Structure 1
Amino acid sequence: MPNQIQVLDPHVADLIAAGEVVERPASVVKELVENAVDAGAHTLTVEIQRGGMAMIRVTDDGGGIPTDQCQTAFLRHATSKLRTAQDLAAIGTLGFRGEALAAIAAVSRVELFTRTAQCDLGTSLTLEGGQVLSQEPAGCPLGTTLVVRDLFYNTPARLKFMKRDAAEGAAVFALVQKLALSHPGVSFQFIRDGKRELMTPGDGKLSSALYAVLGRDMALGFTPVRGEGEDVTVTGFVSLPACCRGSRTYQHFFVNGRPVKSKLLMAALERAYENQKMVGKFPGCVLQLQVKASQVDVNVHPAKTEVKFLHERQVFDGVYYGVLSALQGETRHPTVTFAPPQPSPQAGSGGEQRPPLQPAQGKPVLRDAAGALLRPLERAYTPASPLQGESVPGFSPKSAGKSTDFCGNVDKPVENVEKPRPAAVPRPDTPHRTPSVPQQAPAPQLKLKVPPAPLGGAEGAPVPPPSLEEEAPWRLAGEILQTYLIVEQGDAVHLIDKHAAHERMQFDRMKAAGYQPMAQALLAPVVFTPAPEEGEVLLNHLPLLAQFGFACEAFGGGALVVREIPDYLEPGQVEPALSEIAGQLLTGGGADPQAARDAVLHTMACKAAVKGGQRNTREELLVVVREVMAGRVKYCPHGRPVAITMTRSQLERQFKRSS
């Protein structure tokens, strides 16, 4: 190893600095858009080709760059946003380091077109590998257009680590969406490979940006937040508890207009949802925090995505109480109304008179408390008049008696609406008797949707069902909280998580048998808009999803349409299931076919397994216990233990009985 110390060549130093600033095309877009916003842009267009690897063009109508400062802007540590060390104590701009343009130019070919309001003629500047090739006058509109081509063309070591163009493009799209939410006063336009995928109005209203970025369905599931604390103001929107998702993809935090990642803000948000959301679901949010610039440090991360707060407790309380008050003040509940009946011709064929349609045949429509129209009950049961006895077109027994929540999921029974019963008609040969009021049927027990598959030997031969429980060396003592099974064996007591154990059983069965579920076609296809990264990874694995019963395809505007689903899923479970699958593929090695299949199997096994809180028969529980006690099931597919054991001595020590 050489021990001579020397100063690096400037070009090598620039490449190293570029590696710290420019990680992927999305990093380039972030730096250029932040510069445009700092320059006072009101409209901003981001255009990419081949995921940003071939070309990135960012156009704004900001203040522009004076002609004599164009080359200076591409020097390292050149900036217009800082002057003295005291300025670091109160940074009010998105960019401030002065390294972005120099780092980008060092690893690409750059073209700059810019004009200020004081000049009638603009400037064109061309650079390659950080070196200026030409500068000349040019006609161009007010503002700046910066074109970056052939990213990492001179650094093949970085180029080989780039993902596919679709994945890089999805990362850029997600970033532009986040930036559009952080600055609702700027009109953002995103164009990928010649197709416009995003357009925000730029009217300064966060609700408008939220609607344009996340779509109508997501926007209807959000409620506004407004909170003020000591030197902290929290505004924005949070999702209703019923509209929480299976991942944290839709959590967006902004501090003084800067998109940030903060465990503190995440913890405050999710604390406000305690005992209000389903276990395993995460709230979505678009929260903007205004904090004094002197009380937040934005210079703690090279990409400026992390911040530190001087008074963390004040920030935590501001978010927590702001979100909590918004949730407690939310009084909307889904309501079902019936549209007026359609007029029907009174004269049928041959001039015969036909009775008018009954009002009950109006189509159910869902509205919130404010009267806003929600997704219609497309598959709801509309009973015909008992006197007519006609069948209702479009009736689906599977969806009868279900309602739609704020997120448009049809999966909840309508408990306060009684279905009309046909009038009792006495038989002619029997005296008329007043019909007795039918007794309410007992609630049926929920059965395992997919039969448990006990695993036998190495060949996977099924184990015969248990005959007598007394023959086993253990005893199922009972179940607590409808989730945990208590099993006694000698001087030990085992607590078994029935969901985790059955999930592992399903996963092993599916993996060993080459799982091929039965697909069921949907009468009304499910359309939803996932996060850009999730949508891209799902589209890249359509053949794999088809193997598991999902028939999906792109629907335009970043949306997906699902026409077939596995037989054990309900339509309301499609979106969370696919979102969870996408998360597994993104973090579980989607490039490896076997790893991708296992990632999907994890989600399928979880959805098919018996759930905590679900009532099961003793025979069903015994099947799970037999597998755990035989040692064939130890951990769930996610690595969590399925059982814990306490000995007699441990219990006696807890009760102070041991000597």
Structure 2
Amino acid sequence: MSEIKVLSKEVSELIAAGEVIDRPASIIKELLENAIDAGANVITVEIKNGGRTYIRVTDNGKGISKEDLPTAFLRHATSKISVKNDLDSIMTLGFRGEALASICAVSKVDVLTKRPEEDYGTHYVIEGAVEKTCEECGCPDGTTFVVRDIFYNVPARLKFLKKDVSEGNFAADLVTKLTLSHPEISFKFIRDNKVEILTAGDGKIYSAVYSVYGRDFANSMLEVDYTWQGMHITGFTVKPLSAKPNRRFQNFFVNKRYVKSRACAAALEEAYRNLLMTGKFPACVLYIDIPPNTIDVNVHPTKIEVRFSDEKLMHEAVFFAVKNSLMKNDRPNEMHLENKRNFTDRELFDIPKKDNSVQLKFSMENDTPKPVASKAEIPVPKPQTEKQYENSYSYQKPAPTLKTVESRSITEEEKEKLSGSDDMFLASLEQPAKKETAVTELSGPEPKPHKVTVEEINKAISEIPLPEEPEEQSGDAFKFIDAQSFTKKKPVSVIVEEKEPEKPKPVVVGELFKTYVVAQVGDEMILMDKHAAHERYIFERIKSDAEQLETQMFLEPIMVLLSYDEYDALTANLDKVSQLGFEIEPDVAPTVAVKGVPIILGDDNPADIISELAKNFIENKLNPQIELFDDLYHSIACKAAIKANDTNSGIELQALVNAVYGQENIRYCPHGRPVMITLTKRDIEKQFRRVL
């Protein structure tokens, strides 16, 4: 008796459907991708009970004709590709022709569809891959899919579904990904009669990010726009201080298709290396546009994974794009003071109104009540005139400046001290000149004012040297002209070459709590953590000087067993391994002979270190140094840097600020803490009510 049999259509359909449809979110994914491929720009998704009992997807795309509708639910029926060469240039989200066949095999499906050129639409009903109804009806242009009772005919699959809330969250996350991948489409997501997601569909990536993740997330992002060897990468990446506690906010879209890529994730995290605090991960929304013939999207039934023809090139593109954005757009954190009004205008400027009612309060002193005037009874002084103020003992009427200020000649010794501009500034800080004025102290006599006569003014004007008389080109002497003749002459235009203003340099003002350096740069105040700044400065110096590490040779080589992919990656990069201070020779695959390691590693186990080094080469890291190197550099920099509460002179603090300020790679300490924050002059003036 023959043991090999052909499976029935029902069983084969269920098995095939299990590869594509595993939960309600899978149905939503397939229907949304078809709606996007149909050219829709408005899509609505509605679910009930997590999508287990009801799913509706409505779009305004081109629709399906009545003749094609039954065929669309057959397996391997598609309009996306026709010949094998089309697989090399796939730009649509769906192309396998398995979505609708898999959906109708495990659920009850109603379809309402109409093409713009047709007068009537079509109502089509199919349950368990069996057609029930196909009739004309009235409906708007586009397509509406209503899917009910998923896995009604496969109870074993139904019991593996999670709670309705969890399944609804899977669906919401899927809609989120497609919303971000197509900002030009307006999406609406309704869960149990409540709208949760609504996007504008204006084509702006920022609008989509704002609608999905909210204002705080959108404001914490940096714009990315970079081209590398034919790959164009756009989108947003997060500021290091706003990193997330997990990797769930890492979104990569390859040709507008959401994918999970280890190469992209590794490149992203390498770009943030030494910028994040422990336990934090970068977030991003990155769009990668590459030629379709350089990727293979037909490697997974749900098309969630892709394969790149050159993963190293992809790694470099993502790394350089994100790193360039961080270096270019990330700025020191700006501190904003609360725009809070501590006093009302009446409290600041108005005089309290007098209350005519008599209010008495009593204070108990020696058990005897005594009346005390309340605040309303306190007499408020009326504004007095200047003459009335003169009669008071504290008023000194200032005399005109011309008559009261006495000049003082500077001695030759003082001129020598104040000859240079910097010396003059420092000398003025140490020994400020005392100005003598005619304001009379209570105990001192009033100095006699000096009267300036008209003759003295004319004499001073006559001593001003006049400019030399220039000669005209004709040789005639230049003649001075009066005001009347001057108005008849045409004005002479003088072209002055404008020079670019010099960038302001930081000037240290002081230090707070022996930890934070206060400096002024133009119209900004900066607060710098001196330990974090010095630590990062030393860390960068050590890394730049460690290009060629000294090697400690072993008496006998240590044999290290690797996996085959680790062996291939390591032996293909022996020159880079040598630059890092390792002496390695390939042995019988997959074994390598380690003859020497960098001295800085000490007595650490070479087997673990070599394996980690090979892993970095597999991930195509541009900086293949092992994490242990960074940990050692961190430790050295932290111990060598100045500490909080250390006493430092003004010269030392100024030198530190000069060395750190403006350096693009010194914004965070090696542990991810910010080096400095800024506060603008305008924010300070708002607090003092100088500006409103």
SS in 2 for 1:118: coil
What letter corresponds to residue 178 of structure 1 in structure 2?
A: K
Mapped contact 2:222–2:330 kept (Cα < 8 A): no
For residues 296 and 331 of structure 1, the distance between their equivalents in structure 2, rounded to whole angstroms, comes to: 32
1:200 partnered with 2:204: no
Kindly state the Cα deviation for residue 334 of structure 1 after the two structures are TM-superposed.
Answer: 1.5
SS in 2 for 1:344: helix
Give the equivalent residue in structure 2 for 1:421: none
For residues 177 and 143 of structure 1, the distance between their equivalents in structure 2, rounded to whole angstroms, comes to: 22
For residues 149 and 414 of structure 1, the distance between their equivalents in structure 2, rounded to whole angstroms, comes to: 64
Give the equivalent residue in structure 1 for 2:45: 46
1:348 partnered with 2:347: no
For residues 13 and 178 of structure 1, the distance between their equivalents in structure 2, rounded to whole angstroms, comes to: 31
For residues 239 and 193 of structure 1, the distance between their equivalents in structure 2, rounded to whole angstroms, comes to: 33
Give the equivalent residue in structure 1 for 2:443: none
Give the equivalent residue in structure 2 for 1:302: 301
Give the equivalent residue in structure 2 for 1:33: 32
For residues 175 and 325 of structure 2, the distance between their equivalents in structure 1, rounded to whole angstroms, comes to: 28
What letter corresponds to residue 85 of structure 1 in structure 2?
A: K
Give the equivalent residue in structure 2 for 1:107: 106
For the pair shown, the structure with the greater C-alpha radius of gyration is 2
1:129 partnered with 2:133: no
SS in 2 for 1:28: helix
1:190 partnered with 2:189: yes
SS in 2 for 1:348: coil
Q: How does 1:6-405 map to 2 (within 5 A)?
A: 6-332=5-331, 333-337=333-337, 339=339, 341=341, 342-345=344-347, 346-348=350-352, 350=354
What letter corresponds to residue 38 of structure 1 in structure 2?
A: D
For residues 207 and 225 of structure 1, the distance between their equivalents in structure 2, rounded to whole angstroms, comes to: 12
For residues 346 and 72 of structure 2, the distance between their equivalents in structure 1, rounded to whole angstroms, comes to: 73
What letter corresponds to residue 112 of structure 2 in structure 1?
A: F
Q: How does 1:604-623 map to 2 (within 5 A)?
A: none
For residues 9 and 299 of structure 1, the distance between their equivalents in structure 2, rounded to whole angstroms, comes to: 27
For residues 15 and 515 of structure 2, the distance between their equivalents in structure 1, rounded to whole angstroms, comes to: 62
Kindly state the Cα deviation for residue 231 of structure 1 after the two structures are TM-superposed.
Answer: 1.8
SS in 2 for 1:40: coil
Greater than 3 Å deviation, 4+ residue runs: 337-342, 347-355, 413-418
For residues 41 and 195 of structure 2, the distance between their equivalents in structure 1, rounded to whole angstroms, comes to: 18
For residues 301 and 125 of structure 1, the distance between their equivalents in structure 2, rounded to whole angstroms, comes to: 30
Kindly state the Cα deviation for residue 350 of structure 1 after the two structures are TM-superposed.
Answer: 3.6
User: In angstroms, what is the RMSD of aligned CA positions?
Assistant: 2.5
What letter corresponds to residue 276 of structure 1 in structure 2?
A: L
For residues 353 and 302 of structure 1, the distance between their equivalents in structure 2, rounded to whole angstroms, comes to: 87
SS in 1 for 2:116: coil
Mapped contact 2:223–2:329 kept (Cα < 8 A): no
Kindly state the Cα deviation for residue 315 of structure 1 after the two structures are TM-superposed.
Answer: 1.1
For residues 280 and 311 of structure 1, the distance between their equivalents in structure 2, rounded to whole angstroms, comes to: 31
Aligned residues: 367
What letter corresponds to residue 165 of structure 1 in structure 2?
A: D
For residues 130 and 116 of structure 1, the distance between their equivalents in structure 2, rounded to whole angstroms, comes to: 24
State the Cα deviation string for residues 590-630 of structure 1 (Å, max 9, x = none).
xxxxxxxxxxxxxxxxxxxxxxx99xxxxxxxxxxxxxxxx
Give the equivalent residue in structure 1 for 2:503: none
SS in 2 for 1:124: strand
Kindly state the Cα deviation for residue 269 of structure 1 after the two structures are TM-superposed.
Answer: 0.4
Go from structure 1 to structure 2 and tell me whether the alpha carbon gap of 1:348 and 1:203 turns closer, same or farther (over 3 Å shift).
Answer: same
Q: How does 1:388-467 map to 2 (within 5 A)?
A: 415=516
Go from structure 1 to structure 2 and tell me whether the alpha carbon gap of 1:414 and 1:233 turns closer, same or farther (over 3 Å shift).
Answer: farther
Go from structure 1 to structure 2 and tell me whether the alpha carbon gap of 1:62 and 1:354 turns closer, same or farther (over 3 Å shift).
Answer: farther
Mapped contact 1:178–1:259 kept (Cα < 8 A): yes
Go from structure 1 to structure 2 and tell me whether the alpha carbon gap of 1:340 and 1:25 turns closer, same or farther (over 3 Å shift).
Answer: closer
Kindly state the Cα deviation for residue 66 of structure 1 after the two structures are TM-superposed.
Answer: 0.6
Mapped contact 1:121–1:138 kept (Cα < 8 A): yes
Kindly state the Cα deviation for residue 71 of structure 1 after the two structures are TM-superposed.
Answer: 0.6
For residues 152 and 258 of structure 1, the distance between their equivalents in structure 2, rounded to whole angstroms, comes to: 27
Q: Which runs of 5+ in 1 are unaligned?
A: 356-412, 419-441, 444-492, 496-612, 615-659
SS in 2 for 1:140: coil
For residues 120 and 417 of structure 1, the distance between their equivalents in structure 2, rounded to whole angstroms, comes to: 74
Kindly state the Cα deviation for residue 161 of structure 1 after the two structures are TM-superposed.
Answer: 0.5
For residues 338 and 285 of structure 1, the distance between their equivalents in structure 2, rounded to whole angstroms, comes to: 29
Go from structure 1 to structure 2 and tell me whether the alpha carbon gap of 1:241 and 1:3 turns closer, same or farther (over 3 Å shift).
Answer: farther
Mapped contact 1:223–1:240 kept (Cα < 8 A): yes
What letter corresponds to residue 344 of structure 1 in structure 2?
A: R
For residues 93 and 187 of structure 1, the distance between their equivalents in structure 2, rounded to whole angstroms, comes to: 19
Mapped contact 1:126–1:133 kept (Cα < 8 A): yes
Kindly state the Cα deviation for residue 311 of structure 1 after the two structures are TM-superposed.
Answer: 1.7
For residues 186 and 515 of structure 2, the distance between their equivalents in structure 1, rounded to whole angstroms, comes to: 42
For residues 74 and 339 of structure 2, the distance between their equivalents in structure 1, rounded to whole angstroms, comes to: 66
For residues 354 and 230 of structure 1, the distance between their equivalents in structure 2, rounded to whole angstroms, comes to: 78
For residues 290 and 59 of structure 2, the distance between their equivalents in structure 1, rounded to whole angstroms, comes to: 27
Mapped contact 2:239–2:330 kept (Cα < 8 A): no
Kindly state the Cα deviation for residue 336 of structure 1 after the two structures are TM-superposed.
Answer: 2.7
For residues 60 and 95 of structure 1, the distance between their equivalents in structure 2, rounded to whole angstroms, comes to: 16
Q: Determine what percentage of the aligned residue pairs are the same residue.
A: 47
For residues 168 and 349 of structure 1, the distance between their equivalents in structure 2, rounded to whole angstroms, comes to: 65
State the Cα deviation string for residues 423-446 of structure 1 (Å, max 9, x = none).
xxxxxxxxxxxxxxxxxxx99xxx
Q: TM-score, normalised by structure 1?
A: 0.53
State the Cα deviation string for residues 425-476 of structure 1 (Å, max 9, x = none).
xxxxxxxxxxxxxxxxx99xxxxxxxxxxxxxxxxxxxxxxxxxxxxxxxxx
State the Cα deviation string for residues 490-540 of structure 1 (Å, max 9, x = none).
xxx999xxxxxxxxxxxxxxxxxxxxxxxxxxxxxxxxxxxxxxxxxxxxx
Kindly state the Cα deviation for residue 340 of structure 1 after the two structures are TM-superposed.
Answer: 7.7
Q: Which runs of 5+ in 2 are unaligned?
A: 356-377, 382-513, 520-530, 533-601, 605-637, 640-692
Kindly state the Cα deviation for residue 218 of structure 1 after the two structures are TM-superposed.
Answer: 0.6
Go from structure 1 to structure 2 and tell me whether the alpha carbon gap of 1:344 and 1:415 turns closer, same or farther (over 3 Å shift).
Answer: farther
What letter corresponds to residue 196 of structure 2 in structure 1?
A: E
